[in-house]
Structure 1
Amino acid sequence: MDMHWCVGLMTGTVLDGNIDVALLRTDGEGVAEFGPYALDPYDEDTRAILPRCLSAALDWNFDGPEPAIFAVAEERITRAQSAAVARLVAEAGLAMSDIAAVGFHGQTVLHRAPVGGRPGRTRQLGDGGLMAQLLGVRVVHDFRNADMAAGGQGAPLSAIYHGALLDSLGGGTGTAILNLGGVANVTACDGAGGLVAFDTGPANAPINDFVRSRGLGEMDRDGRLAAAGRVDTARLRQALGHPYLKQAYPKSLDRFDFGHDWAAPLSDADGAATLTAFTAAAVGRGLDLLPVRPARLIVCGGGRRNPTLLKMLGTFAEVTVETAEAVGWEGDATEAQCFAYLAMRRLRNLPGSFPSTTGAAAPTLAGRIATAA
């Protein structure tokens, strides 16, 4: 197949205020070229509305009419991300006519996994039709709902792209990819030519929420607060008894499924250290579930910038840790690249999710296509 330029977009549940936008040249199976990428910040008003959407989503919980704030935020998000795409394409010396499709994930405000035969539900804010009109190109959006309708978790969707990246390194079961966003998810080879993927537990979200609750900023930047603290091993041991960590995959999480309240009695530094250790140890429990436990993790996502977390991964997950950059990838762009890749797969009617990665009953197309016409 011919390789085409696609643009991918991602804004994570960690709410760092940035739009991740990346160009990728792909046929939806292989990757020919990593293009430019950007972390394009939202304006102040859009940044301010996102936490309000998350709070409203928790109150709503898929019961009754959607909160009115969703419609307001959806238009703001769509226009801001459309502008980010147009800027990146222009700066790359391309025209929109050179772009086969844009993969527009949208902003997740609530995700509920299937439980006891009850189908899961998910909501991402983003208007694919509006973006297609604004940019004049095909936009693939609403990536998760078809999977959930097929009995899947709706997450993680990164597995097929991560599999392509692992193939570029020679594949094998010894290496897995770990994404550290609001939650953590792992993709690994199953030893029989297939892929396994699932959310291992929390990543940055509880740590960031804890730091905000103490009035210490938006995040534990560079893991400095955690590095100054001591892990409360008794609390950590108790937290590791959470049933999710023993649950068989496929499985997925919402950013609020693991909170930080259990660390509330601790000091600022000790609370950050203990929450960080929990993220690392939960990854280790996840690796224990894999058919073959990898010895090496390649880490992408914002959490790879936290050296304390990376060090704790080595200690508590008992694994060798490398960042995406160490193998020639760009960790800030990986998730956005994934949705460019998924957009191309959707154009070719190739599945984006699988029974072994989300639990869907069969391989499932990921995304709906909106056109400018």
Structure 2
Amino acid sequence: MAELFIGLMSGTSMDGVDGVVADFSSGVRVLRHASTGFSDALRAELMALNASGPDELHRGWLAGNALMRVYADVVRQLLADAGIVPAAVSAIGAHGQTVRHRPQQFDGTGYTIQLAQPALLAELTGIRVVADFRSRDVAAGGQGAPLAPFFHQSVFAQPGETVGVLNIGGISNLTVLRADGSMQGFDCGPGNALMDAWCEQHTGRPYDDNGAWAATGRVLPDLLALLLGEPYLSMPPPKSTGRDLFNRPWLAAHLRGFAGAAAADVQATLTEFTARACADDVHRHADALRKLVVCGGGALNGFLTRRLQALLPRTQVVSSAAEGLPPLQVEAAAFAWLAMKCVRGEKLALQSTTGARGARVLGGIYPA
């Protein structure tokens, strides 16, 4: 008998929503995938809410409402494409939109904020919703991120082999699935966030399609060295980051001495920065890695993945599609899987990834 869950993910790239219907009755099987972009107005507001501004509580709540309406549209599309009714779905796993991520800061606990109105989503869809996955981990002393490594382990682990999974969204995160069954996961640093911001600023396009623009430039060694000097990169795991650090002001500050640089050269350097940050973490934490599975939007950037392969000559760099799950489906499927774990009341052992004090059930449930 099918055990159906929907997963919805809007990540740090802030370009839209990916959703899947997955069947967990026997392993992991994605039945349908749907996606939709954000309107320019919603994307701009979500971006703006990453920094302090006027009337944030009011604006944040309304942005959460608008986001849930986009989520509901994706759910309706998934149901129609799969030919199923709402009652057939056990629950929706709704990640929400991260706008602040400051775990363990200020008072020792800190916080992570994902804009979402799960009660509204339950009303709009007639389906039970699981949301707020990260806050319990933060309450237990963890980073609240990344959470996808637990799903990566269930899908990509290979007995007797060490496998890496690199998710490149707005931020990049690495999962190391070791041959002995142990796991480690953490955020490497920037993924697409800086590349997208620079591309949009100079070309008007939201991202550098396939890395074609970056491929026309040359890497600026002094700028690359400055970017790689960011202290976060050398911090030991567990660690996580977001647009709180890697944002437009951070980039502008690092570019102050490079006013005459060609825009394409900066794009090439930002692409190399992302590739180096990820490859350096592979060397630090999984130097004997033979296979690196790449997912997220960055997996579709051919120039970036070629740079990763060049920097990791002893490692086979492959798209997650080659492992049975296309890159844009992985994170949405992860939150469907996390919703399933929450509904079942199953705890996840978080210490090796987020640094939390122990295993916890993640998520809050909003009945249909």
TM-score (norm 1): 0.91
CA contact (8 A) 1:225 1:268 kept: no
Task: State the shift of 1:171 in Å.
Answer: 3.9
Question: 2:138 aligns to what?
Answer: 148
Structure 1 gaps of 5+ residues are none
1:260 has 2:251 as partner: yes
Question: 1:59 aligns to what?
Answer: 52
CA contact (8 A) 2:22 2:30 kept: yes
1:125 has 2:120 as partner: no
- What secondary structure is seen at the aligned counterpart in 1 of 2:4? strand
Task: State the shift of 1:191 in Å.
Answer: 4.3
Deviations 1:345-372 (A, max 9, x none): 0011112451101111101211100002
1:101 has 2:91 as partner: yes
Structure 2 counterparts to residues 1-373 of structure 1, below 5 A: 4-16=3-15, 18-26=16-24, 31-42=27-38, 44=39, 47-59=40-52, 66-115=56-105, 118-167=108-157, 170-258=158-246, 259-261=250-252, 262-263=254-255, 265=259, 266-290=261-285, 293-318=288-313, 319-352=315-348, 354-372=350-368
Deviations 1:309-336 (A, max 9, x none): 0011122344431111122211111110
Deviations 1:248-289 (A, max 9, x none): 101001124124322453211100000000001000221133
Task: Tell me how far apart the structure 2 counterparts of residues 187 and 204 of structure 1 sit (CA, whole Å).
Answer: 18
Structure 2 gaps of 5+ residues are none
1:48 partner amino acid:
A
CA contact (8 A) 2:199 2:207 kept: yes
CA contact (8 A) 1:172 1:189 kept: no
Task: State the shift of 1:3 in Å.
Answer: 5.2
Task: Tell me how far apart the structure 2 counterparts of residues 333 and 6 of structure 1 sit (CA, whole Å).
Answer: 14
Task: State the shift of 1:66 in Å.
Answer: 4.0
TM-score (norm 2): 0.92
- Alpha-carbon distance change, 292 to 173 in structure 1, aligned in 2, over 3 angstroms: farther
- What secondary structure is seen at the aligned counterpart in 1 of 2:362? coil
Identity over aligned residues, as a percent? 34
Deviations 1:128-161 (A, max 9, x none): 1111122222110011101001111110010110
1:260 partner amino acid:
L
1:307 partner amino acid:
G
CA contact (8 A) 1:57 1:67 kept: no
1:31 partner amino acid:
G
Task: Tell me how far apart the structure 1 counterparts of residues 112 and 176 of structure 2 sit (CA, whole Å).
Answer: 24
CA contact (8 A) 1:182 1:204 kept: yes
Task: State the shift of 1:166 in Å.
Answer: 1.6
**Number of positions where the alignment pairs a residue of Structure 1 with one of Structure 2:** 360
Q: Which moved more, 1:132-141 or 1:198-207?
A: 132-141
User: What is the RMSD computed on CA atoms of the aligned residues?
Assistant: 2.0
Task: Tell me how far apart the structure 2 counterparts of residues 39 and 15 of structure 1 sit (CA, whole Å).
Answer: 13
CA contact (8 A) 1:110 1:122 kept: yes
Task: Tell me how far apart the structure 1 counterparts of residues 356 and 55 of structure 2 sit (CA, whole Å).
Answer: 27
Deviations 1:170-228 (A, max 9, x none): 24443211101000001112444221100011010000111122244211111011100
1:133 partner amino acid:
E
- Alpha-carbon distance change, 207 to 304 in structure 1, aligned in 2, over 3 angstroms: same
CA contact (8 A) 2:6 2:93 kept: yes
- Alpha-carbon distance change, 143 to 189 in structure 1, aligned in 2, over 3 angstroms: same
